[in-house]
Amino acid sequence: MIERGIVTGYEDGTFRPDRAVSREEFCAVLSRTLGLSPVSDGTVSAFSDVGGSWAVGHIAALEKKGVLRAADYSGVFRPSLPITRQEIVTMLVRAAGLEGETLRSGSLTSFTDPIPERAKGYVAAALNHGLVSGYPDGTFRPSGTATRAEAGLMVLRLVDPKARPAVWRETYTYDVPSGENTLQVVRVNLKRDDVEVRPALSGCIGQTAELDAIAKASGAVAAVNGGYFSAYPEKRPVDPLEPYNAIKIGGTWVHFTYSGTTMGITAEKEVLMAPIRMKIEGSVDGKPGMWGAWSLNHTAPDAISVFNSYRGRTTRMPSGRCVVVRNGRVAGFGGPDVEIPSDGYVIYFPETYVGGWSWKNLKPGSQVSFDVVFTTHKDEPYPDSFKWKGVVHAIGCGPRLVAGGKRATDPRAEGITEDKQTVLPYNRSAVGVTSDGILIIATCNRMTIEELADALVDLGAKDAMQLDSGASSGLFYEGKYLTRPGRKLASALVVVKK
């Protein structure tokens, strides 16, 4: 900021980082940072006492921008007084265009000391977006002064998202009609180059592990449970412990979904959320539409499926036939339980499809490829499919909780019908994202999906969806559980610091 000419030192060549910053000093720094031209006519200021201040032009410029308001000070600014942390936060939130969030987020506080009523929403919004931090003892100290170093860092975070923390946690007490809840929240700054968010498996498809074991195996600083899976093998022996929702890791699809919402993260770390399905459209010798599949790495005895190395060593199918593809060519036939090559995949055919159109087109030595096609839950072409082609990581679950900063819950439209996921209060997990790329991971102990959606909006979410809940709900952070799951899991969403 010194190089940019935004912050200056003293005539003796010192910066004095521990010195308290005054109101007029902060106004000058913020005005320069925002690229505002000082108002040459200081009489335009609504303050009665700034005419003699060296920073009057900057003060008036911030007033004109709507960042500084005379009504907050009853028309008397006292520019030479040290500025408080709550004053700084108020101006930063307005400068960031986040004032609209303050009415919703004002009910939240994770700090142990009281925040003045008029500042609550601003403090919460600033925390939601990583503009400010509290102290190690859990306090915010709203009336405390800020040093020149602290004020400079806060302003830098406003204009450079990479200067905001990489990963941090918050705890809230949140009252809803279903009862008092403890919200455990982990936030991840996706603008940082040193952090990655991706799904992780417990091993291969059909295996489970404790959440902390998945986190530690991934080298993760944080982890939350993933999507739904076949958690009760005795009730559903056909696909024991296998996922039900979409998973993509490092550019490779691991599993498809037929319900719920899927979150995707692109190479540029843009977060997408949509109620989509996936299927495979295959080519043979360069001709598209020569074969197709509806399932990936799932035990679906009645569907043409593709199995890759995430399935494990073999296909583990009880009946049917398989086409083995290696290095993009049909290398052989067998089945039903065949080895999955590391340099290819297996196309599985139920007995009823053997000899059909797709089977006949897959001849020995044929060149084979496929595309993943995205559809709506009504099996219509998804209109924004091109965006999903750039997704590197994806995890599905649902239902959708928030869209465009507003509650957006319609689980039955996503094919989710179980009472505990539609109407009953339950312990839940969710993932969301703010308008400026802060990922929100949260757990609660007893909420309906509507209550959880409202909580995510209060936390600053622009978009959000539910993850698996009930006994699966769990959150791991910095070596310990914030929320302990009641069972082993098939997948997780992990946060890795590089």
Residues 387-424: pLDDT tens digits? 999 999 999 999 999 999 999 999 999 999 999 889 99
* 8 A C-beta contact, residue 83 and residue 26: yes
Cα(236)–Cα(436) distance, integer angstroms: 42
User: Which of 32-46, 72-86, 201-215 is predicted least confidently?
Assistant: 32-46
Cα(413)–Cα(448) distance, integer angstroms: 17
Cα(351)–Cα(301) distance, integer angstroms: 9
Does the structure show a pLDDT above 90 at 197?
Answer: yes
* 8 A C-beta contact, residue 427 and residue 469: yes
Look at residues 21, 145, 24, 151 and name the one whose alpha carbon lies nearest to residue 78.
24
pLDDT tens across 375-384, in order?
A: 999 999 999 9
| Residue 460, phi-psi category: left (phi > 0), alpha (psi -120 to 50), beta (remainder) | left
Within 132-203, residue ranges assigned H as helices are: 148-159
Does the structure show a pLDDT above 80 at 108?
Answer: no
pTM: 0.93
Predicted local confidence at residue 107, as pLDDT: 66
Q: What is the mean pLDDT of the chain?
A: 94
Residues in contact with 274: Cβ distance below 8 Å, sequence separation at least 6, in sequence order: 261, 262, 264, 382, 384, 388
Residue with tokens 């996922």: 243
Three-class secondary structure of residue 495 per DSSP: strand
Domains and CATH numbers, the chain: 1-83 (no CATH), 88-144 (no CATH), 173-273+392-497 (no CATH), 278-374 (2.60.120)
Tell me the mean pLDDT in the region 293-321. 97
Task: Identify which has the larger pLDDT, 158 or 149.
Answer: 158
Does the structure show a pLDDT above 90 at 145?
Answer: yes
Does the structure show a pLDDT above 90 at 74?
Answer: yes
In the chain, pLDDT over 90 holds for what percent of residues?
89
Predicted local confidence at residue 76, as pLDDT: 98
Tell me the mean pLDDT in the region 18-27. 94
- Residues 156, 161, 163, 165, CA torsion sign: positive
Residues in contact with 159: Cβ distance below 8 Å, sequence separation at least 6, in sequence order: 33
292-296 contact pairs (CB < 8 A, 24+): 292/358, 293/347, 293/370, 294/256, 295/256, 296/253, 296/254, 296/255, 296/256
pLDDT tens across 439-475, in order?
A: 999 999 999 999 999 999 999 999 999 999 999 999 9
* 8 A C-beta contact, residue 55 and residue 79: yes
Predicted local confidence at residue 17, as pLDDT: 73
Length reported for the chain? 498
User: Which of 3-12, 33-42, 76-85 is predicted least confidently?
Assistant: 3-12
Across 146-245, where does the E strand assignment appear? 167-176, 179-189, 195-201, 222-225
Does the structure show a pLDDT above 60 at 3?
Answer: no
